[in-house]
Chain A
Amino acid sequence: MARRAGAPEVSAGSMADIAFLLLIFFLVTTTIETDAGLDRMLPPWEPPTDEPPIIKQKNIFTVNINRNGQLLVEDEIVEITKLREKAVAFLDNGGAPSGDPDFCNYCKGTRDGSSSDNPTKAIISLKNDRETKYSTYITVQNELVGAYNDLRNREAMRLYKKNFVDMEAEYLNPETSDEVKEELKDKVKQIQELFPQKLSEAETSSD
């Protein structure tokens, strides 16, 4: 029963427990989620001083949302599920005749003379009521962005055999290396120019 000489060691056994406790506390109280959502640019505040550019009526695609969440698209009542289809048809129309400076050589639409001339000219105008529910508004926004993405995906597939949405996500990802980014930049830009997002939002109506 001989005892060892010297000061007794301080037990470090409970140190792990303390550290675990801290670890669990931080795990519970912190969040690593990254948010995601629909990116939009607002128009600048300053009212344009010069004359507003004249836009042909046929190049404007009007979408009106009323307070009950019903849609009026180009003066027709349309189900929200049909909106994407309609928007794609409008953007992809390419109504300008061949030989015209506005002729669109990549459009696959119906080439209806009374609809948009060229995707670069086509403008979607969105108007909503003050009483419109936010969720309806987001659904409409989502469908319109979806229409653009569908068309851009189609062109990206044709030109680069890649999905546009994936290309853009890779381009925006901070972990992508600079060389890859540089290469993607031109491609993304080119596709964006084929179908520029021209989505104008009017001031909300109060009645």
Chain B
Amino acid sequence: MSKFAKKKDGEVPAVSTASLPDIVFMLLFFFMTVTVMKDSSLKVENILPNASEIKKLEKKDRVIYIYVGKPTKEYEKVFGKEPKIQLNDKFSDPSEVGDYILMERAKKSQELQNVLTTSLKVDKNASMGLISDIKQELRKVNALKVNYTTYEGDAFRNLQ
């Protein structure tokens, strides 16, 4: 009898926190699956221009990125101040763009290879000469769908 009496000590039982880790893990897995790791760190300054008539780039697996801008402070000494092209993690010449596109295209699955878009993330202070060179290279490898990636905003703010 005394065995049962012992339990009624009068203390309120603590709320069980045993399921808290499960909830948090669920959240964790959710974020792990829906988000994408930043795959390349930027070595160029990349302040995009503004535009208002924009379309969203849906489906990240169909996009190839090309970054253009002038090298950031730490690379300035080696690569100078002129705008450069960054492909994956290294600086490149316009002539390497074609090979890069072909390589990236080969990595994608067969049915996606014809629907790829090239996203040009170009700093607003770059000059058009470099962009024209890239466009020529893209035309040579038949990567005709391009997206000039921009921020959403008033386009006239670019001119200031």
Q: Report whether A31 and B159 are in contact in the complex, using a CB–CB cutoff of 8 Å.
A: no
Interface-side segment among B88-96, B103-111, B150-158: B150-158
Binary contact readout A124-157 vs B (1 if CB under 8 angstroms, 0 otherwise): 0000111111111111011101100100000000
Asked if A53 is at the interface of the complex by the 8 Å CB criterion, the answer is: no
A36 to B149 Cα, complex, angstroms = 6
Q: Report whether A26 and B49 are in contact in the complex, using a CB–CB cutoff of 8 Å.
A: no
Q: Report whether B38 and A16 are in contact in the complex, using a CB–CB cutoff of 8 Å.
A: no
CB within 8 A of A19: which of B21, B35, B129?
B21
Asked if A32 is at the interface of the complex by the 8 Å CB criterion, the answer is: yes
Chain B residues within an 8 Å CB radius of A133: 124-128
Asked if A44 is at the interface of the complex by the 8 Å CB criterion, the answer is: yes
Q: Report whether A37 and B155 are in contact in the complex, using a CB–CB cutoff of 8 Å.
A: no
Given A31-B36, A80-B156, A138-B148, the answer on whether A38 and B138 have CB atoms closer than 8 Å is no
Binary contact readout B107-136 vs A (1 if CB under 8 angstroms, 0 otherwise): 000000000010111111111110110010
Chain B residues within an 8 Å CB radius of A30: 31, 35-38
CB within 8 A of B55: which of A36, A134, A204?
A36
Classify the interface of chain B: helix, strand, loop or mixed.
mixed
Number of A-B contacts (CB under 8 A): 178
A13 to B148 Cα, complex, angstroms = 50
How many chain A residues touch B (CB < 8 A): the figure is 58
- A179 → chain B closest CB, angstroms: 19
**Residue ID in chain A nearest B35 by CB atoms:** A30
**Residue ID in chain A nearest B32 by CB atoms:** A26
Q: Report whether A134 and B32 are in contact in the complex, using a CB–CB cutoff of 8 Å.
A: no
A43 to B120 Cα, complex, angstroms = 16
- B119 → chain A closest CB, angstroms: 6
Extra A-B contacts (17), CB below 8 Å, given A36-B57, A42-B138 = A16-B21, A27-B31, A30-B31, A37-B54, A38-B54, A38-B55, A42-B143, A131-B129, A132-B128, A135-B159, A136-B158, A138-B155, A139-B51, A139-B155, A165-B53, A172-B56, A172-B58
